[in-house]
Amino acid sequence: MGGSLNMVGYGLAAIGPGIGIGLIFAAYINGVARQPEAQGRLQSIAILGFALAEALAIIGIALAFVIQ
Amino acid sequence: MRCPGSTERTRGIALNVTGLVLRAAEGGEGGFEAPGPASFDLPPVFSVAGVGVTKPMLQLVLGAVLVFGFLYLAARKRAMVPGRLQFAGEQAYSGVRNGVGRDIIGSRDFMPYVPYLVAMFFFILINNWFAAIPFIQFPTFSRASMAYALAGLSWLVYNAVGIRKHGFLGYLKLQCVPSGVGVALLPLLIPLEFFSNLIVRPVTLALRLFANMFAGHLLLILFAVGGEYLVLHSDNWFYPVAGVAAWIMAIAVSFLELLVQFLQAYVFVLLNATYIAGALADEH
């Protein structure tokens, strides 16, 4: 089989951000369930946190393609 | 799982691992070319003075024209009782204005940045949605250079805003010296903060947009091309079934991508607003 070990490494590296994004949205859903009127304020914070956690996965996929 | 022949293997080295799944399925006889970064290198449509003009470049122009046209037509009448188009424009505008500008930058001084944020949001949104519009079907920002240019613009804006408000040294101090930290830690923290706030920010901003568009489009190509290969180029009765399943997955993924494309435009503008808010922040 062909292919590069980089991609396996990227798969492993994506576990961390995956768990992180899961935690962020779990907390967001919890917060909205407890206090539905806070949804507007929580939403932008949740998406901001999601973007920051996702940055790690994004750097990972870029490096997986760049480093040979 | 059969091992492919040696010619197949040499060809496979250049391909990425997404091809592995299909190569295992194809039974070793064929030449399935897995899509990779090379799938995004489109030939120039035409060339001006030796410089090739490619499809994503044309899409940038088309996107700008469409955004201008939509917002101009929606704002032209300014009727007291809005028509359908004006209503859509006002809803979209106020979503960015209140949901991003006012909530993040703060109600005191968000107004000067609203045109910038609104224009950027719609420009990115339409360019991302080009990936799903029939006959265009290519996300402009899956070319990294486009996303880097946009992030460079936002880097210039938030730094200029901060320098205008605090002066050059004051702005550097605001961005690089965290408050409430002991003097002993400062030599460690100042380079880190400088690196993180002034150098890495535009890079992650651009990479986030680029990599999301790139990965999403790559996934779609893989499902479409792989499905076609399984349906048309196999002798086993089961592979066409898997191919049709791949096509159905491609449709499902397209809808997921619509959401991702919207979310990335939103996140890009949200982070822009956050950076501007950070540059405007008073000493604390």
Q: pLDDT, tens digit, for every residue of B7-49?
A: 444 344 333 334 444 444 444 445 777 787 888 888 888 888 7
pLDDT at A36 over 70: yes
Contact A1 B20 (CB under 8 A): yes
Judge whether B223 and B250 are in contact, CB under 8 Å: yes
Share of chain A above pLDDT 90, in %: 37
Nearest partner of A3 among B116, B81, B12, B160, judged by Cα? B12
B contact test, residue of A7, A42, A58 with most B CBs within 10 A: A58
The mean predicted confidence, pLDDT, of chain B is: 84
Domain range holding A59? 1-64
User: Higher model confidence: residue B232 or residue A61?
Assistant: B232
Tell me the Cα Rg of chain B: 24
Q: Where are the strands (E) in chain B, listed by range?
A: 46-48, 51-53
Contact B12 A59 (CB under 8 A): no
pLDDT in tens, B195-205: 988 998 999 89
pLDDT at B79 over 80: no
pLDDT in tens, B136-165: 889 999 998 999 999 999 999 999 999 999
**Mean pLDDT, rounded, for A49-68:** 79
Contact A3/B at CB under 8 A: yes
Domain count, chain A: 1
Contact B104/A at CB under 8 A: yes
For chain A, report the end-to-end CA distance as a whole number of angstroms. 17
Contact B24 A65 (CB under 8 A): no
Residue B15: which of A2, A44, A61 has the nearest Cβ?
A: A2
The pLDDT, as a whole number, for residue B121 is 94
| Look-up of token digits 């122009």 | B61
Long-range contacts, stretch B179-183, CB < 8 angstroms, 24+ apart = B179/B283, B179/B284
Chain B contact set for A62 (CB, 8 A): 207, 210-211
Share of chain B above pLDDT 90, in %: 37
The 3-state DSSP composition of chain B as helix, strand, coil percent (nearest 5) reads 75, 0, 25
For chain B, report the end-to-end CA distance as a whole number of angstroms. 62
Q: What DSSP letter does each residue of B113-153 carry, written as one string?
A: GHHHHHHHHHHHHHHHHTTTSTTT---GGGSHHHHHHHHHH
**Would the ipTM clear 0.85, i.e. be above it?**
no
Domain chopping of chain B, boundaries: 4-280
* CATH assignment of the domain containing A55: 1.20.20.10
SS3 B51: strand
Nearest partner of B124 among B281, B269, B273, B279, judged by Cα? B269
